Structures are given as structure tokens and as C-alpha cells.
């Protein structure tokens, strides 16, 4: 299967948006590991409607005017991975969940490590907000885009990081104003 893609700048580095047909299939990080997300052949297509709409909604997200995304998604993965990724979609903007909470939410409380592995393979980062998943003690854990990108995304959503670890852990972090310098690359 062939995929369409465009590359867009953002405050967390260049993002490659990938579509299969009329649905978003992936958001890849600038320094993504090869084969983290398995895709077929990709071709540049700056006229693909779903990619242009995704880029518009991401601009709004980074500008602080969008909290939910409304684009069709095409998750390609195992049934378990898809279950985890659908659970990510239920984490509200500005809140966090632990891997254990996600495992319990999907009815597999002993599958914490498997949830972490599925989270790491999430093909549609930001929109399926894997950045909102943290360790059980509130620590920031691995992230395909890098911990700096995860911290930036959480800060953009007003999640206090270093000053209130308990609030971060419980998903009730204090909201605070965050300035994202749009001149630093969010002009797509």
C-alpha cells in the first residue's frame, strides 16, 4: 500500500504526517527510529486533504487554540496495540495517566509493560496523546519524540512538571500559562 506524506515544522521539530487513503496513519518525529512505525512506500503529496487538515489542526494545537483533534485515524497494529491507542484518545487535554491506569482502563491490569511497549509504537503521536502517559511515580518516561518533546507538549497543555510531581502523577496538575514561540518553527 502506498502512503501520502508531507513534512511540517513544529515547536517540537519537523513532523512527517502520513495518510493512507482519506485517514491519518502516522505522525513521525524528525529523528524517529527506523521501523518504529511500519509503513509502506511513501510519496510526497502536498494536496492530500487529510494531511492539510491535520497540519491546520496541529497549528491550532501549538497556538493553544485546539484541545481535541477531528481527523479520521487509521491505526495499523495488533488488536492489543489498537486497544491501547484508543485508550490514549480518552485522556483529556491537560491531564495525564500512568501506564498502570491505562492497563486497568482496558481491562488488563497486569499488562503495564505491554501498555508501555504499545505506547512506544503509537503511530499517531500528539493526536493519540501518548505524551500524556507517565510513570507510576509521576516521572517522565521514554517517548519516541524524545523527553524534551514530551515535556514541551505537556507544558503546552499547562501541565506543571517539576514543581508538582504528585499532581502530575494523579493527572490533576496545576494549569499554568505557557508561551510557545511560533516564530521558532510553527508556521506551517
d(CA 63, CA 18): 22
d(CA 75, CA 125): 11
162 lies in the same domain as 87: yes
Average pLDDT over residues 8-35: 92
Q: What is the pLDDT of residues 141-164, one digit of tens each?
A: 888 888 999 999 999 999 876 544
Residue 182 corresponds to which cell in the numbers above? 511560533
56 lies in the same domain as 95: no
Decide if 120 is inside a domain. yes
Using a pLDDT cut of 70, give the percent of the chain over it: 85
158 lies in the same domain as 83: yes
Q: Among 25, 122, 126, which residue's Cα sits nearest to residue 81? A: 122
91 lies in the same domain as 134: yes
Burial 147-171 (b: 16+ CB within 10 A, else e): eebbbbbbebbbbebeebeebbbeb
At 172, is the pLDDT very low, low, confident or very high (cuts 50, 70, 90)? very low
How many domains would you assign to the chain?
2
Decide if 182 is inside a domain. no
149 lies in the same domain as 88: yes
87 lies in the same domain as 57: no
Residues tagged active-site: 130
Domain CATH for 86: 1.10.10.10
Which pLDDT score is estimated for 162?
55
Amino acid at each position: 500500500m502506498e502512503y501520502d506524506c508531507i513534512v511540517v515544522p513544529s515547536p517540537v521539530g519537523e513532523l512527517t504526517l502520513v495518510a493512507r487513503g482519506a485517514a491519518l496513519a502516522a505522525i513521525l518525529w524528525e529523528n524517529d527510529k527506523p521501523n518504529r512505525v511500519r509503513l509502506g512506500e511513501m510519496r510526497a503529496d502536498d494536496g492530500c486533504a487529510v494531511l492539510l487538515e491535520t497540519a491546520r489542526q496541529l497549528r491550532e494545537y501549538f497556538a493553544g487554540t485546539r484541545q481535541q483533534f477531528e481527523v479520521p485515524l487509521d491505526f495499523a497494529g495488533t488488536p492489543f496495540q489498537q486497544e491501547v491507542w484508543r485508550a490514549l484518545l480518552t485522556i483529556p487535554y491537560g491531564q495525564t495517566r500512568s501506564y498502570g491506569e491505562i492497563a486497568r482502563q482496558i481491562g488488563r491490569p497486569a499488562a503495564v509493560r505491554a501498555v508501555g511497549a504499545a505506547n512506544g509504537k503509537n503511530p499517531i503521536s500528539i493526536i493519540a496523546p501518548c505524551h500524556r502517559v507517565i510513570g507510576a511515580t509521576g516521572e517522565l518516561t521514554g517517548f519516541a519524540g524524545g523527553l524534551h518533546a514530551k515535556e514541551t507538549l505537556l507544558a503546552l497543555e499547562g501541565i506543571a512538571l517539576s514543581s508538582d510531581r504528585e499532581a502530575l502523577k494523579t493527572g490533576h496538575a496545576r494549569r499554568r500559562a505557557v508561551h510557545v514561540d511560533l516564530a521558532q518553527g510553527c508556521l506551517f
